[in-house]
């Protein structure tokens, strides 16, 4: 890799709607050799309990990301100049065998992490968070987790299946992948099966910031509380796009009324810039229900903010700053 990162295609020379739809029009991983941040898709939705379609999410986010620009004013950073970010393509998984798919994602994610890259994963349904966390924990040890979602995703099984989009974080706790002193759901809301869901979740160590909490406390106070809980631990951020209200993200499998606005989500993420973000995912984008690409656009900006944080920290690490640890 050259000393200067290779950035996006110049939109003043090639129209944004032309050419291959890599994330933010960045180079492919095979074009640059190695990357500091690898954007990787996982086209898998065999773990969903309601509406399918998230297998098409990664490419929809890539298409929506054509409008992203190289300077992020909210974070005062040019992320693609600070670090080499590249599109690593998709992890091809078996759509008929969930166990095999989980193993495939874990192995491929581990291979990318072994190159020294951090991962920005585009799902796919939330089942994939478990193998991603396995790979990340193998490299960093148990990690702090911020889980943005309308739902807890700490249920035990669906129809006897242990690996589904509603169970990844229970499995992650059981497997010792998470630092249980630094876990939080953000944006949860809606009906549950019973009070026991909350009791079980609390026993696993999760704190909860509901969407109503964000509305009442405000973004700045929520960010302060989250940063206090995370501390200096390595952090994994998992964003189910249904954390957003259906007005902001109609294209998802299990929508719930009363969610965050896209502005609230982006501002909370920006407030985490000082945290040690080691990898992240954005999942559950289901294009068949996404009129006018509303959800895909929100997801592309979510991935952009997370990528910016990782790029800034990598650059700080190279210059000896604490954020790069």
* CB 5 within 8 Å of CB 70: no
pLDDT beyond 50 at 325? no
CATH number of the domain at 23-320, please? 3.40.800.10
Residue with tokens 């950073």: 77
Q: What is the mean pLDDT of the chain?
A: 96
49 pLDDT band (50/70/90 cuts)? very high
Q: Assign 257 to helix, strand or coil.
A: coil
pTM exceeding 0.75: yes
Q: Assign 183 to helix, strand or coil.
A: strand
pLDDT (tens digit, 9 = 90+) per residue, 216-236?
Answer: 999 999 999 999 999 999 999
pLDDT (tens digit, 9 = 90+) per residue, 173-221?
Answer: 999 999 999 999 999 999 999 999 999 999 999 999 999 999 999 999 9
CB atoms within 10 A of CB 7: 17
- Cα 307 from Cα 232, distance rounded (Å): 19
**Domain extents in the chain:** 23-320
pLDDT (tens digit, 9 = 90+) per residue, 115-155?
Answer: 999 999 999 999 999 999 999 999 999 999 999 999 999 99
């Amino acid at each position: 890799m050259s000393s200067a990162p290779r950035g996006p295609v110049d939109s003043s020379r090639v129209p944004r709607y032309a050419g291959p739809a890599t994330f933010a029009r960045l180079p492919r991983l095979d074009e640059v050799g190695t990357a500091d941040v690898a954007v990787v898709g996982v086209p898998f939705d065999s773990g969903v309990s309601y509406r399918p379609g998230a297998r098409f999410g990664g490419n929809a986010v890539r298409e929506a990301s054509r409008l992203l620009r190289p300077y992020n004013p909210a974070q005062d950073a040019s992320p693609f100049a600070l670090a080499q970010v590249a599109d690593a393509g998709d992890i091809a998984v078996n759509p008929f065998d969930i166990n095999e798919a989980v193993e495939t994602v874990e192995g491929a994610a581990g291979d990318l992490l072994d190159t020294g890259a951090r991962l920005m994963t585009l799902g796919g349904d939330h089942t994939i968070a478990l193998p991603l966390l396995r790979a990340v924990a193998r490299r960093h040890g148990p990690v702090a987790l911020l889980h943005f979602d309308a739902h807890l995703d700490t249920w035990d099984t669906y129809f006897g299946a242990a690996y589904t989009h509603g169970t990844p974080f229970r499995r992650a706790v059981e497997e010792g992948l998470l630092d249980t002193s630094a876990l939080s759901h953000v944006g949860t809301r809606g009906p549950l099966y019973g009070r026991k869901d909350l009791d079980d979740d609390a026993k696993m160590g999760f704190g909860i910031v509901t969407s109503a909490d964000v509305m009442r406390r405000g973004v700045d106070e929520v960010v302060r509380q989250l940063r206090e809980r995370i501390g200096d631990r390595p952090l994994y951020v998992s964003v189910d796009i249904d954390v957003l209200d259906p007005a902001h993200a109609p294209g998802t499998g299990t929508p719930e009324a009363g969610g965050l606005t896209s502005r609230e989500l982006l501002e909370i993420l920006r407030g985490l810039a000082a945290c040690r973000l080691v990898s992240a995912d954005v999942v559950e984008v289901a294009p068949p229900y996404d009129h006018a690409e509303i959800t895909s656009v929100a997801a592309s900006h979510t991935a952009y903010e997370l990528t910016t944080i990782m790029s800034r920290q990598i650059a700080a690490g190279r210059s000896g700053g604490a954020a790069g640890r």
